[in-house]
Amino acid sequence: MMNVHQRVRLAELLSEAAELEHGLMCQYLYAAFSLKREPEEGVTWAQLELMRRWEASIMLVARQEMEHLGLVNNMLTAIGEAPYFVRPNFPLGPRHYQIDIPFKLERLTLDAVGRFIEFEMPRRPDPGSEARMEATVPAVKPGRFQTIGELYEEVVSLFEQLDSPELWIGPPGAQFITTEVIPVPIRGVSLAGKAIYDINLVAVTDLASAKQAIAQILEEGEGIPIPTPTSHFARFLTIAEELATAQHEDPSFDPARPVVENPRGRITSPATREVAELFELAYGTTILMLMRYFAHTDETQAQLAALQQTAFFPLMTTAIRPLGEVLTLLPARADAPTPTAGPTFDFTRNLTFHPHRRAAWHVMLLQLQQLAADALRLSTEPVYPEPVRERLELVYENAARMALNFSGAMGIPVPT
């Protein structure tokens, strides 16, 4: 008979892993959004080229954190548990998780990158990496507290102990793979089993596939068991080295805008607050859709596709990212141009699984419509600089189109 206490522990650990991956993603996005983008912001072309590569690297890591979140949710549904998208708001003290590192939203600095290295650091880094850390971020010490890899090691151990038909009771049809969440429609070349946009979501249906998914998470994140230059750990270490070198050559070099740390409650400019709320609406709507997508009940394939075609592309790319970037250009306070704001990634209490299918769709549609209406209103406000208004106008057009598409696919008339 199954050890139910162990099973509960497994579900709890997987939920914690989901929360961690989700929280890491938000912090990485926040740092990426903070980066300066033009020479007029006080950086040289050579520095901008470096920063372009850092931003690309951080965004790739953030996408893979989303992939890890998806993989963990595949594991949860494989054992009959609910997908887990909930997370606490920022900031979080170091003792909130056993990894003992604070969770906070901060702009990209050497200290921030050092913290990211700590997140992704394996228990025993290879000697070369350890020497590089000592030279660049000496405060980062390996082996202090539990690593994320060790959390997953406990998950693997529990999977092995509990492995039986009684464990794998989730419906295989509830699993999602890359080509379902990013269905690139090319013909003549198979993308099956390949990463798309660096994302490789695989199904979990038994012990072997669960261990394979965890091995993928650890290889991509910590670069274990074999260190790779593309692991998140190695990427952040490279960024730290390049940033330290660039600042040694030019002590005035600051790659990030003066973005406020942990913006929750610190955005007092009414105009900026409205854009921050717009971001929160977009983020919240995405979360609602992801919850429904991963925990779908009796949706048809077409209805699942409608959720997918809204929540991934385009909500993440045409609303969340532009609004996150725009916020770092706007003053957090009404009485001073700096610091600038950033997205709070606030998680409100209503962000929970909506169990009644049609009502859930209705709520999502209403939120998409509100997103469009608010973006349209803000795009005409002269208080915002012209480039910000242009981006808000495109957010409006895209949100309005999403609402139209979603309404048509779900058979819910667009409310007036």
Partner 1 sequence: MTAPSPPPPADPILLVIAFSGWALLRLPTDPDPTDEPRGVSGYTFAFAGEPDFDRILYLQPPANFTPRSQSPPLGVTVASAVRTDGKEVPALAGAAVNLLGEPMLENRNWNLTLPGFEPIVPFHLQITGGGVTIERDAPLNPQDPDQPVWQTPQELLLAQGARGMEFEPATIGEATGIWDSLKVVTERLRALQRELEHLKAHKGDPTAIVALEGRIAELEFAVANPTDRRVMARYFVERFGFPMTGQASVAVDGNPLGGTLDTTSPWAVSFWLGAWDPDVLCLFMKGALEVPYLTVSD
Distance between terminal CA atoms of the chain? 56
230 binds partner 1 per the rule CB under 8 A: no
Residue 28 CA to residue 56 CA, distance in Å, equals 11
Distance between CA atoms of residues 318 and 287, nearest Å: 15
Q: How many residues bind partner 1 (CB under 8 A)?
A: 39
Q: Site for partner 1 (CB under 8 A): which residue of 165, 185, 251, 382?
A: 185
Evaluated on CA atoms 182, 183, 188, 193, the torsion sign reads: positive
Both tokens assigned to 345? 């990634």
- Looking at beta carbons only, is 224 or 400 nearer to partner 1? 400
Among 1, 186, 226, 336, binds partner 1 (CB under 8 A): 186
141 is an interface residue for partner 1 by CB under 8 A: no
Residue 43 CB, shortest distance to partner 1, in Å, is 11
Q: What residues from 24 to 43 belong to the interface with partner 1 (CB under 8 A)?
A: 37
Nearer of residues 92 and 177 to partner 1, judged by Cβ:
177
- Of 162-170, 281-289, 332-340, 400-408: span binding partner 1 (CB under 8 A): 400-408
- 397 lies in the binding site for partner 1 (CB under 8 A): yes
**Residue whose pair of structure tokens reads 């650990």 in the numeric block:** 13
Quick one: residue 80, left, alpha or beta (phi over 0 = left, psi -120 to 50 = alpha)?
Answer: left
Task: Give whichever of 197 and 353 is closer to partner 1, judged by the CB atom.
Answer: 197
HEC states along 354-400? CCCHHHHHHHHHHHHHHHHHHHHHHHCCCCCCHHHHHHHHHHHHHHH
Q: Is 103 helix (H, G, I), strand (E, B) or coil?
A: strand
Q: Are 255 and 54 in contact (CB under 8 A)?
A: yes
Confirm or reject binding of residue 68 to partner 1 (CB under 8 A).
Answer: no
| Region 194-213 residues binding partner 1, contact defined as CB under 8 A | 197
Residues in Cβ contact with 111 at an 8 Å cutoff, skipping those fewer than 6 apart: none
What tokens appear for 180 in the block? 């379902």
Among 127, 138, 173, 188, binds partner 1 (CB under 8 A): 188
385 touching partner 1, by CB under 8 A: no
Helix H or strand E segment including 299: none
- Choose between 322 and 331: whose C-beta lies nearer to partner 1: 322
What gap in Å lies between CA 374 and CA 344, rounded to an integer? 18
Q: Select from 2, 8, 131, 184 the one that contacts partner 1 (CB under 8 A).
A: 184
Mark the segment that binds partner 1 (CB under 8 A) among 82-90, 113-121, 125-133, 402-410. Answer: 402-410
User: Rounded to the nearest 5°, which phi and psi values hold at 150?
Assistant: -70, -35
Interacting residues of 405 by C-beta distance below 8 A, sequence separation 6+: 306, 309, 310
Tokens of residue 240, six digits: 């730290």
Cα separation of 120 and 33, whole Å?
Answer: 20
> Where do we find the tokens 């030279």?
135
Question: Is residue 314 involved in binding partner 1 (CB under 8 A)?
Answer: yes
Among the listed residues 48, 275, 351, 368, the single contact to partner 1 using CB under 8 A: 48
From 13, 41, 59, 271, residue interacting with partner 1 (rule: CB under 8 A): 59
Number of C-beta neighbours around residue 376 at 10 A: 16
Q: Which of 158, 234, 281, 402 binds partner 1 (CB under 8 A)?
A: 402
From candidates 266, 357, 389, 401, binder to partner 1 by CB under 8 A: 401
According to the binding rule CB under 8 A, does residue 398 interact with partner 1? yes
Q: Give the binding range for partner 1 (CB under 8 A) out of 51-59, 288-296, 338-346, 362-370.
A: 51-59
Site for partner 1 (CB under 8 A): which residue of 23, 263, 322, 339? 322
Q: Could you say which of 231, 318, 328, 340 contacts partner 1 (CB under 8 A)?
A: 318
3-class DSSP assignment, residue 314: strand
Considering only 22, 36, 87, 321, the residue that binds partner 1 (CB under 8 A) is 321
Binds partner 1 (CB under 8 A): choice among 1, 40, 187, 270:
187
Using the Cα atoms of residue 226, residue 230, residue 233 and residue 234 in order, give the sign of their dihedral. Answer: positive
| Among 50-58, 246-254, 255-263, 359-367, the segment contacting partner 1 (CB under 8 A) | 50-58
Q: Which residues of the chain form contacts with partner 1 (CB under 8 A)?
A: 37, 45-46, 48-49, 52-53, 55-56, 59-60, 63, 183-189, 197, 309, 313-314, 316-318, 321-322, 390-391, 394, 397-398, 400-402, 404-405, 408
